[in-house]
Amino acid sequence: MQGSATAHLAFPRTAGGISTSSSKLPNETNMGESTIDWSALGFSYLKTDYRYLSHWKDGQWDAGSLTEDNILHISEGSTALHYGQQCFEGLKAYRCKDGSINLFRPDQNALRMQRSCARLLMPQVPTEQFIEACRQVVKANERFVPPYGSGGALYMRPFVIGVGENIGVRTAPEFIFSVFCIPVGAYFKGGMTPHDFVISGYDRAAPNGTGAAKVGGNYAASLLPGADAKRDGFADCIYLDPASHSKIEEVGSANFFAITQDDEFVTPRSPSVLPGITRLSLMELARDRLGLKVSEGDVHIDQLDRFKEAGACGTAAVITPIGGIQYGDKLHVFHSREDVGPVTQRLYRELTGIQCGDVEAPAGWVVKV
């Protein structure tokens, strides 16, 4: 590849399709023992062996392939740097008891990334290329997949950024699609234990803005509110709707759900709520496996007494039970503050069982690497 957006990137190519092998791939039968302490994994960056790179130029994505280089070399005029023209995804690969590896619902991540790309005038990555890129990255970094039963997973971060020589407020002339991975443990310290959260006075996204797209600007705006919450002893903050500030929308970087007194699964629905894949999966499991009524709608902050359980859910966090919500001077405590509620526990066991291959998955939910 040539041009300022891709200078210094050197990696093998294949003609006519996505590369599925490379002379530089590790020998899968003799990769040596990992020195990672799997029990101590958190959610931090760790350089793994390979990542996937593909470039869009002149109206199309190239074949894409793997590289050991974890440094991107891009033009100083790249729109990703100046105008936030970028989006990303997060998904996980899980080691099963038989040693195989499951990718969890990568097609849903591909579809969501396509929607995010469309919102920011970026070329969409085809679903087939997205999934194949993820499979290549997992296979090439298999030694970093935490063992079955460790509670860890291989987290993948696909992203698309606008690059190339540009200075005006317009869509980029070139783009990069990449996928890298890291082994991770629990997102919140303590894992599957109840945490307290606080209602933020900030807005996560504007009405009719980019809240439903997984774009970096939404997360940049969350840094200060999140830091304030942690400084005050909370796990994270909760955002209310930006129009009326009367309804719960999201929990930091995760979706919100709650269980009513009569075991109804409730989650917010709003144009500024990110449609999470974990949230979607829990809704489907609650309805189809647990037989619960599932509702998407308004979750008013002054009606928390309706709920006996609440939680944050997302790829990184999976499920984090909410013990209490601080709103103004009052801490609303749920019935299950000291222990994980029974419905939340059942949903967690069902979801993680599917991800690790211990529970039969609904059709299309799992892709074997």
What is the pLDDT confidence band of residue 11, given thresholds at 50, 70 and 90? Answer: very low
Mean pLDDT of 55-62: 95
Instruction: Name every residue whose Cβ is closer than 8 Å to that of residue 2 and which is 6 or more positions away in sequence.
Output: none
Does 1 have pLDDT greater than 50? no
Q: pLDDT band for 189, please (50, 70, 90 cuts).
A: low
C-alpha 97 chain-centroid distance = 24
List the CATH code of the domain at 195-355: 3.20.10.10
For the chain, the structural domain boundaries read: 38-184, 195-355
More confident residue, 6 or 297: 297
pLDDT tens-digit readout, 106-115: 999 999 999 9
Query: What is the predicted pLDDT for the residue at 337?
Result: 67
Residues 185-214: what's their mean pLDDT? 86
Token pair of 161 as six digits: 């950024």
Is pLDDT above 70 for 197? yes
pTM (predicted TM-score): 0.87
Q: What confidence tens digit (pLDDT) does each residue in 20-56 have?
A: 333 333 333 333 445 888 988 888 999 999 999 999 9
* Contact yes or no for 310/256 (Cβ under 8 A): yes
pLDDT of residue 175: 98
Q: How many CB atoms lie within 10 A of CB 208?
A: 11
Between these two residues, 338 and 99, which has the higher pLDDT value? 99
From the number of C-beta atoms within 10 Å of its C-beta (0-12, 13-18, 19+), residue 127 rates as: middle
β-bridge mates for residue 52, sequence order: 66, 179
CA 285/CA 105 separation, integer angstroms: 14
Question: Can you tell me the mean pLDDT for 359-369?
Answer: 94
Quickly list DSSP for 181-205. Answer: EEEE--SSTTSSS-EEEEE-SS-SS
Residue in this structure with the two tokens 């969890």, named with its chain if needed: 104
229: three-class secondary structure by DSSP: helix
Residue 210 phi, psi (nearest 5): -105, 20
Residues 247 and 301 sit within 8 Å (Cβ to Cβ): yes
How far apart are the C-alpha atoms of 259 and 311, rounded to whole Å? 9
Q: What percent of the chain has pLDDT over 90?
A: 80
> What does the pLDDT read at residue 247?
96
Could you give the C-alpha distances from 207 to 199, 211, 241, 256, 268, in angstroms and in order?
18, 8, 8, 18, 15
For residue 288, count other CB atoms closer than 10 A to its CB.
12
Catalytic sites, residue numbers: 214
User: What pLDDT digit, counting tens, does each position of 307-337 carry?
Assistant: 999 999 999 878 999 999 999 999 999 876 6
Cα dihedral across residues 325, 241, 253, 219: positive or negative:
negative
CA distance 204 to 238: 9
Least confident of 105-109, 116-120, 340-344: 340-344
Closest of 319, 361, 323, 316 to residue 344, by C-alpha: 319
Residue at 96: amino acid letter: C
In this predicted structure, the answer to whether residue 19 has a pLDDT above a threshold of 50 is no
pLDDT at 336: 63
- Residues forming beta bridges with residue 57, ordered by sequence position: 60
pLDDT confidence of residue 185: 86
- Class at the top of the CATH hierarchy for domain 38-184: alpha beta
Type of residue found at 36: I
What pLDDT is attached to residue 348? 94
Nearest to 289 by CA among 346, 355, 358, 357: 346
- The mean pLDDT of 130-142, rounded to a whole number, is 97
